[in-house]
């Protein structure tokens, strides 16, 4: 409906153009009659327009939709960002052409693997039956309302119009100008705006580039699918725009926030770690945790931006948050358990039995070797003549052979004890032994070293 002043001004221009062909008096009379008839028509139309406007605003006065029970469907529940694409407002072109461009844009957004998109033809079919005033919505206000009905995350609103520009041959050519704006349904904050010019030839290329820019500037979400230290695997990969060296934020849902009436408001989340991508596959990636305040488990959620500037801002904010939480957490002291409450290590027990048996065998063969050597010296000295005949001549050889065999066995068990000690030091068993056992080891090592340094000393007495 045009303002009354514009209508009257239009009639003035029309009658001035006709003044040269008609009589001035007749023109003035006709002009006055037309103006009077126009005013009468406007007075008759205004009540009906007012009634229609009140009917449209009645949607907000009457609770036509219950958001808890009357939500409509259309999005796939696969973790991707839910985008509701509104009808593009046509300027200087038909609605059919604008609808074709909307469908092309919807397809390019879907092909980014970042969004699940509901277009105008899909949501209009469900909205028209409930409230016709919301059909063919073009603006942000009704778009956010429809987005809440569909449980959408984002609403994409825009306009499409014709544009005259110079082509490569410096000739005027008619094209299109598309302006878009992405709005968050919950916060009503504009996340991204862009304007793109194109013609019939490069329309699909420009819409593809526009969809990529929208994807890069929209928060990318996924899940941790497995944890194999030191790596974790996520369900985002090369098809989603990830590259090696990019960083992600890992978070999890910790509680449910409700109002005073007990109605659920939102699921509270907590950032727990920052990880860096080290290997990228087509639909999955591996990452290494760089900073954390809690252990990462399968099922935890991740988020990041493909756009480098937004990603750096997100990581910086998250790192500051993790540092603050780590600093404010209460310090815990280790609980010292009683010895009888500590579970013994089976490997340590086996090692203790083995080294104890090896040391006992080592000591046994040491004394046998020492005794055999003393007997051999005694036989060779001639002071021991208990044997006669051929046996007396064989005794030095028998005692010497027994001494050599005993010495070989001693060396074998000494090397075995040395190897077991090295194994105990590498596994930390020697430091875990009781104090008495350590002192016993030290005393035996000191005694053995002293014996080797002084050599073998034999003492015997002869009565007079």
Q: Tell me the C-alpha to C-alpha distance, in Å, between residue 415 and each of 58, 136, 405, 410.
A: 97, 91, 16, 9
What is the helix (H) or strand (E) element at residue 127, kind and residue range?
helix 120-127
What DSSP line would sit under 368-413, residue for residue? HHHHHHHHHHHHHHT------THHHHHHHHHHHHHHHHHHHHHHHH
What is the helix (H) or strand (E) element at residue 265, kind and residue range?
strand 264-280
CB 287 within 8 A of CB 276: yes
Q: Considering only CA atoms, which of 277, 192, 291, 287 is closest in space to residue 242?
A: 277
What is the helix (H) or strand (E) element at residue 101, kind and residue range?
helix 95-110
CB 363 within 8 A of CB 448: no
What is the rounded CA–CA span in Å between residue 452 and residue 337? 43
3-state secondary structure of 296: coil
pLDDT score, position 350 = 82
Q: Domain 81-216 belongs to what topology?
A: Rossmann fold (3.40.50)
Q: Tell me the C-alpha to C-alpha distance, in Å, between residue 179 and each of 17, 18, 89, 214.
A: 40, 43, 10, 12
Instruction: Give rounded-to-5 percent helix, strand, coil for the chain.
Output: 50, 20, 30
What is the rounded CA–CA span in Å between residue 148 and residue 165? 39
pLDDT score, position 178 = 92
What is the rounded CA–CA span in Å between residue 339 and residue 346? 15
Residue spans per domain, the chain: 4-61, 81-216, 220-257+266-328, 347-454
CB 164 within 8 A of CB 91: no
Contacts of 137 (CB under 8 A, 6+ apart): 86, 87, 143, 146
CB 372 within 8 A of CB 403: yes
Q: Is the CATH code 3.90.1150.10 the one for domain 220-257+266-328?
A: no
What is the rounded CA–CA span in Å between residue 284 and residue 233? 7
Q: Tell me the C-alpha to C-alpha distance, in Å, between residue 1 and each of 7, 88, 395, 437.
A: 10, 22, 137, 103
Q: Considering only CA atoms, which of 113, 323, 118 is closest in space to residue 214?
A: 113
Angle, vertex CA 212, rays to CA 108 and CA 220, nearest 5: 105
What is the rounded CA–CA span in Å between residue 199 and residue 167? 10
CB 251 within 8 A of CB 272: yes
Q: Considering only CA atoms, which of 175, 207, 185, 204 is closest in space to residue 194?
A: 207
Contacts of 85 (CB under 8 A, 6+ apart): 102, 105, 106, 109, 117, 118, 119, 120, 156
pLDDT tens by residue, the chain, 464 residues: 444 444 444 544 544 454 444 444 444 454 445 444 454 444 443 443 433 333 333 434 444 445 444 555 678 777 789 999 998 889 888 888 888 899 999 999 999 888 989 988 888 888 777 777 777 788 888 888 888 888 899 999 999 998 887 777 777 888 899 999 999 998 889 999 999 998 888 889 999 999 999 999 999 999 999 998 889 999 999 988 899 999 999 999 887 767 777 666 667 888 999 999 999 999 999 999 999 998 999 999 999 999 999 999 999 999 999 998 888 877 766 666 555 555 555 677 788 888 888 888 888 888 888 888 877 777 777 665 665 556 666 777 777 788 888 888 888 888 888 888 888 777 776 654 444 454 555 565 555 555 545 554 544 444 44
What is the rounded CA–CA span in Å between residue 402 and residue 197? 104
């Amino acid at each position: 409906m045009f303002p009354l002043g514009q209508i009257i001004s239009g009639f003035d221009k029309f009658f001035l153009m006709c003044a040269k062909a008609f009589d001035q008096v007749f023109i003035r009379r006709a002009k006055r009659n037309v103006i009077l008839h126009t005013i009468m028509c406007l007075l008759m139309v205004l009540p009906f327009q007012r009634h229609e406007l009140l009917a449209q605003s009645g949607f907000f006065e009457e609770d036509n939709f219950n958001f808890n029970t009357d939500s409509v469907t259309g999005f796939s529940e696969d973790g991707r960002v839910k985008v509701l694409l509104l009808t593009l407002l046509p300027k200087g072109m038909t609605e059919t052409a604008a609808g074709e461009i909307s469908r092309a844009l919807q397809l390019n957004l879907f092909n980014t693997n970042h969004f699940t998109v509901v277009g105008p033809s899909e949501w209009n079919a469900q909205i028209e039956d409930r409230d016709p005033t919301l059909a063919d919505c073009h603006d942000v206000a009704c778009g956010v309302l429809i987005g809440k009905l569909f449980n959408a995350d984002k609403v994409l609103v825009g306009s499409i119009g014709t544009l005259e520009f110079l082509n490569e041959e410096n000739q005027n050519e008619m094209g299109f100008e598309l302006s878009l704006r992405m709005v968050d349904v919950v916060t009503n904050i504009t996340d991204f705006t862009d304007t793109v010019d194109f013609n019939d030839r490069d329309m699909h290329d420009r819409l593809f580039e526009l969809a990529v820019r929208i994807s890069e500037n929209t928060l990318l979400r996924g899940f941790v699918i497995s944890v194999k230290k030191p790596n974790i695997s996520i369900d985002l990969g090369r098809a989603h725009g990830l590259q090696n060296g990019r960083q992600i934020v890992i978070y999890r849902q910790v509680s449910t926030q409700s109002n005073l009436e007990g109605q659920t408001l939102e699921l509270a989340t907590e950032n727990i770690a920052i990880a860096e991508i080290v290997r990228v596959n087509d639909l999955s990636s591996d990452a290494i945790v760089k900073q954390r305040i809690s252990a990462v488990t399968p099922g935890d959620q991740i988020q990041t931006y493909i756009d480098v500037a937004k990603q750096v801002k997100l990581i910086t904010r998250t790192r500051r948050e993790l540092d603050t939480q780590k600093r404010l957490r209460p310090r815990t002291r280790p609980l010292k358990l009683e010895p009888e409450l500590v579970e013994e290590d089976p490997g340590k027990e086996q090692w203790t039995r083995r080294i104890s048996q090896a040391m006992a065998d080592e000591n046994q063969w040491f004394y046998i070797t020492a005794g055999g050597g003393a007997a051999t010296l005694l036989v060779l000295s001639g002071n021991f003549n208990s044997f006669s005949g051929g046996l007396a001549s064989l005794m030095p050889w028998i005692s010497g052979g027994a001494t050599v065999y005993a010495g070989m066995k001693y060396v074998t068990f000494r090397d075995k004890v040395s190897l077991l000690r090295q194994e105990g030091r590498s596994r930390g068993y020697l430091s875990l032994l009781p104090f008495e056992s350590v002192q016993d080891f030290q005393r035996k090592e000191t005694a053995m070293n002293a014996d080797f340094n002084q050599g073998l000393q034999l003492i015997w007495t002869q009565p007079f």
